[in-house]
Copies of this chain bind each other. A is one copy, B any other.
Amino acid sequence: MAKYQRILDAAISVFAEQGFFQSTIAQIAKEAGVADGTIYLYFKNKDDILVQFYQYKTRQIFERFREAVSKPATAEEKLRCLIRVHLQEFQKDRNMAIVYQAETHQNRTLGTELIKEMSKMYRDIISEVVELGQEEGTIRRDLYMGLVKRFINGAVDEVINSWIHSGGKYDLVTMADPLVDLFIKGIGVNRQ
């Protein structure tokens, strides 16, 4: 399994560096320090590496997301913890962040079902938190949930994207609290 993991990490590093389509099995093998043939012991082809990466990595991340929302008591604290963990995980693994962000915006069939499933899981967590806040009386009831999920998901994604494009130069996690404040209070002056 150590070799499987090494190939997966090497592949994500190569994909992040030069994009999925321009990457070759030979480059991945070189990066992993294995023979080309070794890769085919674990993976059918390049596509399969990407699909297995999604399966492995995102399952791991989603367990952390679930954990993040299970501990705090209030909706606002749950949302804060979710966004913080989200930014933390992407900051911890910049290659994964690059590949994930690039691939989720591609319009092609490879891994599409997996990506849809994961996006749905993330949005389900947001729904649960928002609904809890509505029960608590801390979150507005006049919301269109489909839009709220996109509003939160999109803003977090864009904050991660900007961080990637900046070369990962600043501490991404410091954005969590100001971002959650924007989600909750908006940019408008609270008129009494």
Give complex CA distance A150, B156 in Å: 9
Task: Specify which chain B residues have a CB less than 8 angstroms from the CB of A98 in the assembled complex.
Answer: 107
Taking residues whose C-beta sits less than 8 angstroms from the other chain, chain A's interface range is 35 or more
Q: Which residue of B lies closest to A159 (CB)?
A: B150
User: Does A37 reach chain B (CB closer than 8 Å)?
Assistant: no
Closest to A136 in B: B189
Q: Report which A residues bind B (CB closer than 8 A).
A: 16, 18-19, 21-22, 76, 98, 101-102, 104-108, 116, 130, 133, 137-140, 143-144, 147-148, 150-159, 161-162, 164-165, 175, 178-179, 182-190, 192
Neighbour of A107 across the interface among B19, B139, B187, CB < 8 A: B19
**In the complex the two chains form, what is the Cα distance from A189 to B164 in whole Å?**
33
Which residues of the other chain, B, contact A185 by a CB distance below 8 angstroms? 140, 186, 188
